[in-house]
C-alpha cells in the first residue's frame, strides 16, 4: 500500500510526476493515437466523432465521352467515304462495261452490214458530196484517251470558228478602210485552206495514232502540229496585208476606227488563245505518247511494213528511181 493510502493527510509524493492520474490518462490517449498512425501509408486515420462523406468515384473523366463520340463519328465518316469510293468505282466499271458492250455491238453490226459507213462531215443525204471519214471517238478510241481526243477535236473546231470570225473582222475592216481588200480576200483563203488541212494533216493522224497505237502517226502529228503552232503565233501577231486580225492589225486599225479596232483586238485574243491551248495540248499528247510505249524505232518498222509494202508506193518509188537513173545516164553521155 502506498503512502497516500496509508496516510491521506500526508503531502503527495512528487518524486514521480508521471504517476499523476491526469498525466497517465493523457499519455495513454496519445500513445493509442500514435500506435494507429503509419507514416508509410497514404491513408489517414479517420477522426473520431466526425462523419466523413466519400466523394463519388468515376471510372473515367467526362471528357472521355466526347473523345469516344468523336472517334465513333470519325469511324462512321471514314466508312461513308469508303462506301462512296466503292460506289464511284462500281459506277465507272459499269460505264466501261456498257461502253465495251456498245462497241462490241457496233463492230458486230458493222461486220454484218459489210463495213463502216463514213459519217464525217455530217452532210444531208441529198447533198451531192458524201462524208469522207468515219469519226466516232467513243467507238474507235480507248476510254483512257477519249477525253484528250475530244479536247483536240474541240480545239480544231475552235480554230475553224476563229478563222470564220476573222473573215467577218477583215470584212468590217475593209468597210471602213478601202485599202484592206487584200486582207479580206486572204482571210477567206485561210479559212478555205486551213480548216480542212488542219483536220486532215494533224487531227486525223492523232485520231489514228490513239485508235491503232501507231508510233508513225504520232510522229506525223508532232511534225505537222509544230507547224500549226507556228501558224497560230503568226496569225496572233497579225501582220497587216496578210489577212489576219492579229495584234498589229488591231493596233493599226485603232487609228482608223476605235470600234473596229476593239473588234480586231478580240479576234487577236482568239488567235492567241488558239496558240496557248495548242501548246498545252501538245505537251499533254507528248506525255501520253511517252507513256504509251511508242518510239522512233517502232515508227520506222510501221513505215517499212505499212507504207513501203504498199504496191502503189513501191511502183511510184520504182518509177522515180528509174527516172532518176535515166536522167543520170543521159547526163553522163552528154
Q: What number is the average pLDDT over the span 41-57?
A: 48
Q: What number is the average pLDDT over the span 55-61?
A: 51
Q: How far apart are CA 91 and CA 99, in angstroms?
A: 12
Predicted local distance difference test score (pLDDT) of residue 315: 55
Predicted local distance difference test score (pLDDT) of residue 50: 44
Q: How far apart are CA 20 and CA 6, in angstroms?
A: 18
At 27, the pLDDT band (50, 70, 90 cuts) reads: low
At 236, the pLDDT band (50, 70, 90 cuts) reads: very high
Predicted local distance difference test score (pLDDT) of residue 32: 46
Ranked by mean pLDDT, the top range of 11-15, 22-26, 46-50, 220-224 is: 220-224
246 vs 311 pLDDT, higher one: 246
Cis peptide before 222 (omega within 30 of 0): no
Ranked by mean pLDDT, the top range of 30-34, 298-302, 303-307 is: 298-302
pTM: 0.61
At 213, the pLDDT band (50, 70, 90 cuts) reads: confident
In the numeric block, which cell numbers belong to residue 176? Answer: 471602213
Q: What number is the average pLDDT over the span 141-151?
A: 93
Q: What number is the average pLDDT over the span 285-305?
A: 72
278 vs 243 pLDDT, higher one: 278
Q: How far apart are CA 234 and CA 242, in angstroms?
A: 10
Length of the chain: 334
Q: How far apart are CA 264 and CA 176, in angstroms?
A: 13
Predicted local distance difference test score (pLDDT) of residue 39: 59
Residue written as cell 467526362?
Answer: 62
Predicted local distance difference test score (pLDDT) of residue 139: 87
Q: What number is the average pLDDT over the span 87-111?
A: 74
Predicted local distance difference test score (pLDDT) of residue 106: 66
For 14, 32, 34, 47, the CA distances from 27, given in Å and listed in that order, are 18, 8, 11, 18
What are the pLDDT digits (tens) for 258-294?
999 999 999 999 999 999 999 999 999 999 888 876 6
* Residue 200 near residue 291 (C-beta atoms within 8 A): no
For 36, 37, 38, 44, the CA distances from 41, given in Å and listed in that order, are 11, 9, 6, 8
Amino acid at each position: 500500500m502506498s503512502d497516500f493510502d496509508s496516510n491521506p493527510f500526508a503531502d503527495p509524493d512528487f518524486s514521480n510526476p508521471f504517476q499523476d492520474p491526469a498525466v497517465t490518462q493523457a499519455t495513454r490517449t496519445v500513445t493509442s493515437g500514435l500506435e494507429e498512425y503509419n507514416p508509410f501509408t497514404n491513408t489517414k486515420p479517420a477522426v473520431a466523432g466526425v462523419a466523413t462523406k466519400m466523394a463519388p468515384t468515376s471510372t473515367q473523366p467526362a471528357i472521355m465521352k466526347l473523345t469516344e463520340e468523336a472517334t465513333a463519328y470519325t469511324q462512321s465518316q471514314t466508312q461513308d467515304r469508303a462506301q462512296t469510293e466503292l460506289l464511284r468505282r462500281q459506277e465507272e466499271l459499269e460505264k466501261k462495261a456498257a461502253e465495251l458492250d456498245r462497241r462490241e455491238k457496233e463492230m458486230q453490226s458493222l461486220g454484218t452490214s459489210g463495213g463502216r459507213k463514213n459519217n464525217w462531215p455530217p452532210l444531208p443525204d441529198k447533198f451531192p458530196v458524201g462524208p469522207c471519214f468515219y469519226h466516232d471517238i467513243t467507238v474507235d478510241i480507248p476510254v483512257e484517251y477519249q477525253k484528250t481526243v475530244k479536247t483536240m477535236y474541240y480545239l480544231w473546231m475552235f480554230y475553224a470558228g476563229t478563222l470564220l470570225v476573222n473573215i467577218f473582222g477583215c470584212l468590217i475592216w475593209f468597210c471602213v478602210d478601202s485599202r484592206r481588200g487584200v486582207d479580206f480576200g486572204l482571210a477567206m483563203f485561210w479559212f478555205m485552206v486551213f480548216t480542212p488541212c488542219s483536220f486532215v494533216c494533224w487531227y486525223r493522224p492523232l485520231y489514228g495514232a490513239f485508235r491503232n497505237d501507231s508510233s508513225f502517226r504520232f510522229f506525223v502529228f508532232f511534225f505537222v502540229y509544230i507547224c500549226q503552232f507556228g501558224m497560230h503565233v503568226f496569225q496572233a501577231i497579225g501582220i497587216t496585208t496578210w489577212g489576219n486580225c492579229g495584234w498589229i492589225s488591231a493596233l493599226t486599225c485603232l487609228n482608223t476606227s476605235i470600234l473596229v479596232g476593239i473588234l480586231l483586238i478580240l479576234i487577236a485574243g482568239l488567235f492567241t488563245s488558239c496558240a496557248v491551248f495548242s501548246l498545252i495540248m501538245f505537251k499533254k499528247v507528248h506525255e501520253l505518247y511517252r507513256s504509251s510505249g511508242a518510239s522512233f524505232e517502232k515508227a520506222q518498222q510501221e513505215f517499212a511494213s505499212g507504207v513501203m509494202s504498199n504496191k502503189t508506193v513501191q511502183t511510184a518509188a520504182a518509177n522515180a528511181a528509174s527516172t532518176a537513173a535515166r536522167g543520170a545516164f543521159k547526163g553522163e553521155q552528154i
